[in-house]
Amino acid sequence: MISFASVSKEFKEGVAAKRVRALSNLTLEIERGQIFGFLGPNGAGKSTTIKILLNLIFPDSGRATIRGMDVCDKNVRRFVGYLPENPYFYDYLTAEELLWFGGKSSGMAKSAIVERSNLLLDKVQLLESRKRPLRTYSKGMVQRAGLALALIHNPDVVILDEPMSGLDPIGRKMVGDIILELKKEGKTVFFSSHILSDVERLCDRVGIIVGGQLRLTGCVAEILKGGDTLEDAFMREVHIAGLKEVR
């Protein structure tokens, strides 16, 4: 469902326009129906990877595809739902109006938008607040409204950038349950997170990226079977990458 083939990306940084490599030959495949956790320290290349997948920025080399179609193909968008790390919406919209806008933008019929909106707002526990302006919402409520928006058109691929950010323990459990439900429906979920316990609980496979290089991919069950926790595996790969940079 998701594929990266030798994807690399560099940026120019500072007055001297020094070139910084954000991604180096990223090659990765994610199957239909999998929940894939993307892990890495700050600045490792996670956001760059997601932006390339969403065609918000372009790779210098390599190719990314969704459902076998190049991410540059505008038809890919109908199959993808996306929640950014810090969603920002027009403050004077209500949650109901936000989902109406998302549904109409996706070409959904009026009746389908109403039915799907009520279902999703109930799932994210915003049904009673659906007519309140978003400016009155807490950070966690905005995050949950953003998740509902990402799912309004029932996409096959769901991309979530730090979906648990700003949520209390109840909200984290609710979002986790929704992610597991998406898996049962055969959806593919790609999400980044710094909360390793959530990744360990939810994901089928993980990838650890450090310094723009994919250091490790594997099944969560296999990593845990070997006696490691995800934190052990994560810290080991960060440490090894740091030693290589020093050398």
Right CATH number for 2-85+157-246 from 1.10.3720.10, 3.30.360.10, 3.40.640.10, 3.40.50.300?
3.40.50.300
Tell me: pLDDT of 178 over 50. Answer: yes
Q: Return the pLDDT at 190.
A: 96
Residue 27 sits at φ, ψ, to 5 deg, of: -125, 125
Q: How far apart are CA 29 and CA 206, in angstroms?
A: 11
Res. 87: pLDDT tops 90: no
Question: Domain-by-domain residue ranges, the chain?
Answer: 2-85+157-246
- The pLDDT assigned to 15 comes to 65
pTM, two decimals, is 0.90
Pair 53, 190: CB distance under 8 Å = yes
pLDDT at 247 over 50: no
pLDDT over 80 (residue 92): yes
Contact predicate 212/21, CB 8 Å: yes
Contact present, 51 and 64 (Cβ < 8 Å): no
User: What tokens does 44 get?
Assistant: 């490792």
- Interhelix angle 110-123/139-151, rounded to 10 degrees, is 140
With a cut of 80, say whether residue 16 has pLDDT above it. no
Q: Which amino acid is at 13?
A: E
pLDDT tens digit sequence for 18-28: 788 889 999 99
User: What confidence score (pLDDT) does residue 2 get?
Assistant: 96
**Which H or E element spans position 3?**
strand 2-13
Mean of all residue pLDDT scores within the chain:
90
β-pair partners for 190: 36, 159
